[in-house]
Amino acid sequence: MRKDLLTGTMQPKKSMVRIVKVDEQTVAIDPTGKQSGRGAYVALDPEAVKAAKGKHIIEGAFSMKIDPSFYDDLYAYVDHQKARQELFGKQG
């Protein structure tokens, strides 16, 4: 179980996506969950990602400025993964 950065709820790790602070200026989506760096987990909830953009939640968690396009990329990734889960069921 991992805590969702955006909603604060506990959810199974397999049903979340990891984001990682790669260096002092870069945050990235970590689809493998194994990239080195400080990480946080986000549930597959596109609406929570949308709300987080306005509240700057990821900036607070990683103590850095985040490019607004990262939220757009995260939204697209989360939306895609959620659709895959709905189509194919939970994998793993």
pLDDT digits (tens, 9 = 90+) for 65-87: 999 999 999 999 999 999 998 88
Measure the CA–CA gap between 52 and 58, rounded to whole angstroms.
Answer: 7
Residue 64 CB burial class (10 angstroms; 0-12, 13-18, ≥19): middle
Judge whether 75 and 49 are in contact, CB under 8 Å. Answer: yes
Closest alpha carbon to 43 in 75, 87, 91: 75
Task: Please report, for the chain, the start and end positions of each structural domain, with discontinuous segments joined by +.
Answer: 2-88
48-60, pLDDT tens digit by residue? 999 999 899 999 9
pTM of the model: 0.89
Does the structural domain 2-88 have CATH classification 3.30.1230.10?
Answer: yes
36-47, pLDDT tens digit by residue? 999 999 999 999
